[in-house]
Every structure is written in C-alpha cells, then in structure tokens.
Amino acid sequence: MDPFLKVFFSIDRDGSGKITIDELQEYIEKNNMEDSMVYDWQRLFDPENTGGITLERFCDTLGIAPAEAQVQRDYMNRQNQATPDTENGIKILYADVSDSLKEEILNKMIQLLSSSKSKEDAAIQLKKYLDDKYGRSWVVLLTADCFWLQATQIDQSICCFRTKNTSCLIWRTYEGD
C-alpha cells in the first residue's frame, strides 16, 4: 500500500474521505511526530484553508489515481475487519492442499514464528522442513504488509494465511527429487 495513503487512511478513521485539522493534530500527537506536519499538510493539501483535507485533493496533489486509492482503502478495510477463522488467530486466505498438509504447515509455521529469532529464520526453517519431508522446490514467503503475487505452482500445493501481523504464502513450484 502506498505509505502516504496508509497515513491518510489512518488519520481518516471514520472513512469520510476527509480529514480535519483536529484529526491531523491528534494523529501527530499520538504518533510523536513533528508539529510542523500540520502546517506542511495544510500548505500542500489545503491551500484554501478550508479546515480539511479531502482524499481527492490529497490524491491529486500526490499524483495518485483516486480509483486506486479507493481500491487500497477497501483492501485495508477488509484486512482490518477480517476475523480469524480459527481459535489460534489464523485467517486462511487461500488453500489448495489436503487438510492434513494444511494443518501441518499452519502448526509448524506458528511454532517457528514463536520460537525463531526472526521471520527470515522461520521462513528458512519451514522451507527446509517441507523440502526434507515432501521433496524440494517449496517457496516460503512471509510479509508484514500487502502483497500481490503471480506464481506457478503444482496442483494441491499452495497455502496462504495470515496470523497476527504476518502473511504467510507457501507453495511448491514443481516436483523435484
């Protein structure tokens, strides 16, 4: 997601498409940011001193297509409103694997995320585990933010899920030895 849009949407909590100067000041104070940000944003996004910054003006000033901004807002809203599908806080985004393999991947990933030093280490360990047990060519991708992906995988070998603040995408690219 565009970082500027992410900030705008974080300030515009009511989803009105307009942030007031009071909302901007509250956001700045809450996030320990420079007070000059209010002046800078007013100068850039509200030169007529209307007391508010519209999403339309914000996008126009930054050269962002309003339709793309709306797509990103909708996506962010879906992410924020998504509720976990299971008790352990996992939301399945997409899965084309057997139930037993899905459970194995989920359990192993949760265990590794809680016991590893880093997400990178967890990804490396899960890939090694899957390669050793099911054959080579597994891909493990962990991300903390939005993602778009186009990939090729063999049938019944993809599992994508979200747990807390990490999206986990796991698939096998081809059957190897």
Q: What is the pLDDT of residue 83?
A: 47
Any idea what the Cα angle at residue 109 is, between residues 120 and 134, rounded to 5°?
100
Parse the chain into domains and list their residue ranges.
3-81, 90-172
Query: What string of DSSP letters covers 99-126?
Result: HHHHHHHHHHHHHHHHHSSSHHHHHHHH
Q: What's the length of the chain?
A: 177
Q: What is the pLDDT of residue 177?
A: 55
Whole-number Å distance between alpha carbons of 20 and 26:
10
The architecture (CATH level 2) of 3-81 comes to Orthogonal Bundle (1.10)
Place of tokens 């999206």: 167
What percent of the chain shows pLDDT beyond 90?
32
Condensed to tens digits (0 to 9), the pLDDT of residues 13-27 reads: 888 889 999 999 999
CATH of domain 90-172: 3.30.740.10
Condensed to tens digits (0 to 9), the pLDDT of residues 136-148 reads: 889 898 887 666 6
